[in-house]
Amino acid sequence: MTTFDDRERSYEAKFAHDADLRFKAEARRNRLLGEWAAQMLGKEGEEARTYAMTVVTSDFEEPGEGDVLRKVVSDLDGKSDETAIRAKMAELLVEARRQILEEN
């Protein structure tokens, strides 16, 4: 095996690892966002957990985070605006990444 082959495998493994971490962080961010939105909607306990999971699953409708944003903006109509929700999503992505890295 050549050094080039080793390097190529290393890059492929890193790419796969980074993609996995990105997926986990985005899913965690969506759950955290769902929990935050549930609190704003006055949901507690199992109802809040169920709502948070609907936010997570809404991300599977199309590529990107637009589907999640639309759902939460629609659900929080009158309680929060799109700009505030986008800011919360960015904040929670940082938190989700931190949590994922601490778990690994």
Nearest CA among 8, 66, 78, 65 for reference residue 37: 78
pTM: 0.85
In the chain, where the domains are located: 3-103
User: Residue 27: its pLDDT value, please?
Assistant: 94
Quickly tell me which residue has 């199992």 as its tokens.
46
Mean of the pLDDT values across residues 6-25?
A: 80
* Residue 59 vs residues 6, 10, 11, 56, 78: alpha-carbon distances, Å: 36, 30, 28, 6, 22
User: Residue 1: its pLDDT value, please?
Assistant: 61
Dihedral, CA of residue 44, residue 30, residue 70 and residue 86, to nearest 10: 100
The Cα–Cα gap between 36 and 95 comes to: 13
Identify which has the larger pLDDT, 96 or 21.
96
User: Residue 12: its pLDDT value, please?
Assistant: 80
Mean of the pLDDT values across residues 65-93?
A: 95
3-state DSSP call for residue 26? helix
- The residue type found at 39 is Q
- The residue type found at 84 is A
Q: Which CATH number fits domain 3-103: 1.10.10.60, 3.40.50.300, 1.10.600.10, 1.10.790.20?
A: 1.10.790.20
